[in-house]
Copies of this chain bind each other. A is one copy, B any other.
Amino acid sequence: LSGLAAVSQGSSIDDGLLIVTVATEETDGFRRFMRSAKKYDLDVEVHGLGVKWEGGDVATYPGGGQKVLLLRDGLKDYKLRDDLKIMFVDSYDLVFTNGAKDILERFERLQASIVFSAEGFCWPDESLASSFPTVKSNEKRYLNSGGFIGNAKEVVEMLNHLDIAPADDDQLYYTQIYLDSSLRHQWSIKLDTRSEIFQNLNGALGDVTLKFMGTHSYLYNIKTGVTPVVIHGNGPIKAEFNRLANYLVDGWTANSGCQTCKEDTITLKEVKEDDYPSVLIALFVEVPSPFIAEYFQAVTALNYPKNKIHIFIHNAVKFHEKDVTTFLEAAPESYLSVTTVSPNDNLSEDAARNWAVDECIKKNCNYLMVIDSLVQMTNPDTLKILIEQNRTVLAPMMTRVGKLWSNFWGAINQQGFYARSEDYTDIAENRRIGVWNVPYLTTVYLVHASVLPNLQQAYTSDLFDPDMAICSFLRKQGRFMFVTNRFNFGHLVDNEHFDTKHLHNELYQIFDNPYDWEKRYIHENYSKSLEDGAEISSPCPDVFWFPVYKPIFCQQLIEEMENFGQWSGGKNDDPRLAGGYENVPTVDIHMNQIGMEKHWLHFLSKYVQPLQQKVFLGYISDPPRAIMMFTVRYRPDEQPLLRPHHDSSTYTTNIALNRPEIDFEGGGCRFIRYNCSVLATRQGWMLMHPGRLTHFHEGLRVTKGTRYIMVTFVDP
């Protein structure tokens, strides 16, 4: 690469417009710029590519003199091209939203030889402010050097008029020329104070609004009523500019959705699995995580050849060691490699994450895929989809189900923390679908290996936690981070109140993670009963039978109860009850004894009550009330049966927790007035029957094994 290179070939030269820019690196911002130029057939000459940048950190400090020097050198031959207008623009933080004809027309209308973009801040020497000609209140008074256009002759003359060093400020250079009123008149220099061509966004985000027209997207300046064509995210608002740029250049419009999504992608369709890129999947279990079994199952279930996967696991939670073991046992030898860091290794999170980066580099991987333990990656194609989307840092969007809590931020404040962008909820709730340039992502993302060498030790920071550290690092590098919501990839679990003192802690997750709880525990046919015209099984008159729980719930509830162990004596005197007396006592454990009372009441309200309404028309009791909810244990040598009785309920639910003929013999429930028995009870199915008046019933004798049922007296 030399300092001079024609990079984009459009057709604007034919119309008399040449775009020039200075870029020493091909950053993600540069590529975005070039895409916009290409989109509008703008010929762009790039100067300085590969040259060492000596112009300072121009986003926040003075500097950039090197740009003038590179242009002076690069444009000298155009001095006599009076057929040509030359437009200089920054490239890392700038896009075009229209082509040469439009730009030239606007330039013509401004009746000047050179037009500079204008902004509201007088930078870098505020003392010069009063020297600028005054403007109307809706206009910008000060010169910005990020964009200008002029006749080739005057532009070249201007670039050569004064001395400048690389670290001097380019904007000050042009400002001095402009404020020299004889020069200003000699070269007929004007500022684009109304943003007829150039829109500088620093301090002007409130002046503009995004507009869509068909497949076209553009900015509209509501203060001056014009539609600028050169959009420059100058100053410290890069994240906001990136956000706007998601839409600009026809990237996304209301009518046609995401158009950039389909660009710059790759496909694995034609690729043989053996030739698939290799991926290091880094699994981080940093906190106690509900539904971690499903988390690991999703990783196992990924639709990607295991012989292209290295596994790296950092588990910081002792409590989860058995889950890691279970995961590894599920696919012991099929991965390319497995690296495990256990709680005993006492490795900090940032070190672990850095290690994963190093490991990926070491293993010559093509991608690093980070998946934290709070992720439920229910879409097994996620990895493939992300690879094919072909962005260097790309997260599959995930949220806590039904919550705005997600794995990305739409904006960031000055301190680098969370801020909500205008489009955040639309994206998080999938009303806007696309691949979104965002300032922060976390928990689950794919990183192209090309980036990794730059990221070594990047998770470590004095100021930030590892995720914020790496994102801050990437932002500083001008690396774009994307999040895609083009597919449903899965969701995040809520671990904020995860209580791990039980045997089966997920049993208690109905409040925190209702979606996962339901998925794990609620019977797959539960909702069939609620469909219009559903045929509901009725084994006895006004007794209804519903599939409610999966066997795993039944099994875990039994285990939870047996683990708790304090079965009642089955005596009339029962200190657990308000009255101290139970008329028809069972050997049981009440839900409040295992701390599940509130959860069970919620289950009643959410799952039982709609079923009740389905079968007992017109009875509305929401939420259902219950005091008595208990698991009963029948055994031949303990309490084998329950004598005829009524329940203290309007209706009773009776869920079979285990299986007749297999786990026990005998048992069942007999409704005496109807001479009708339910013997072949079904694990996880719930009997629902009136409690008080009509359904005098008894628990039949268990002759072998142990029968468990979960009984609730609803609306006592």
Contacts and interface: CB of A to CB of B under 8 A. Distances in A.
Interface stretch (A438-446, A456-464, A690-698): A690-698
Interface string A568-583: 0000000000000000
Contacts of A619: 646, 692-693, 696
A542 B617 CA distance: 16
B696 A617 contact: yes
A688 to B, nearest CB: 10
Contacts of A618: 644-646, 672, 696
A617 B690 contact: no
B645 A693 contact: no
A616 interface: yes
A542 B690 CA distance: 12
Nearest to A694: B542
A541 B696 CA distance: 15
Interface string A602-641: 0000000000000011110000000000000000000000
Interface residues of A, number: 18
A282 to B, nearest CB: 55
A468 to B, nearest CB: 56
Contact of A672 (B617, B651, B673, B692): B617
B690 A693 contact: yes
A160 interface: no
Given A541-B541, A542-B542, A693 B646 contact: no
A378 interface: no
Contacts of A693: 616, 619, 650-651, 690
Interface string A663-675: 0000000001100
A410 to B, nearest CB: 49
Contacts of A696: 616-619
Contacts of A692: 619, 650
A542 to B, nearest CB: 5
Most chain B beta-carbon contacts within 10 A, residue among A645, A672, A694: A694
Nearest to A651: B693
A662 to B, nearest CB: 32
B616 A694 contact: yes
A205 to B, nearest CB: 56
A617 B650 contact: no
Contacts of A646: 618-619
Interface in A512-546: 541-542
A692 to B, nearest CB: 6
A673 B613 CA distance: 12
Interface string A338-361: 000000000000000000000000
Most chain B beta-carbon contacts within 10 A, residue among A618, A646, A651, A672: A618
Contact of A694 (B644, B673, B690): B690
A650 B541 CA distance: 18
Interface string A682-694: 0000000010111
Nearest to A619: B693
A692 B691 CA distance: 11
Contacts of A650: 692-693
Nearest to A542: B694
A644 B617 CA distance: 10
A190 B616 CA distance: 98
A541 B543 CA distance: 13
Interface string A549-564: 0000000000000000
A162 B612 CA distance: 110
Contacts of A673: 616-617
A696 B651 CA distance: 15
A526 to B, nearest CB: 21
Most chain B beta-carbon contacts within 10 A, residue among A644, A673, A693: A693
A275 B288 CA distance: 112
Interface string A299-325: 000000000000000000000000000
Interface in A46-81: none
Contacts of A694: 542, 616, 690, 694
A679 to B, nearest CB: 21
Contacts of A616: 673, 693-694, 696
A699 to B, nearest CB: 14
A535 to B, nearest CB: 15
A690 B644 CA distance: 19
A696 B615 CA distance: 11
A65 B278 CA distance: 150
A151 to B, nearest CB: 85
A693 B692 CA distance: 10
Contacts of A644: 618
27 contacts: A541-B541, A541-B542, A542-B542, A542-B694, A616-B673, A616-B693, A616-B694, A616-B696, A617-B672, A617-B673, A617-B696, A618-B644, A618-B645, A618-B646, A618-B672, A618-B696, A619-B646, A619-B692, A619-B693, A619-B696, A650-B692, A650-B693, A651-B693, A690-B690, A690-B693, A690-B694, A694-B694
8 closest Cβ pairs, A-B complex: A618-B696, A617-B696, A616-B693, A619-B693, A542-B694, A690-B693, A617-B673, A618-B646
Given A616-B693, A690-B693, 9 more contacts: A616-B673, A617-B672, A618-B672, A618-B696, A619-B646, A619-B693, A650-B693, A651-B693, A690-B690
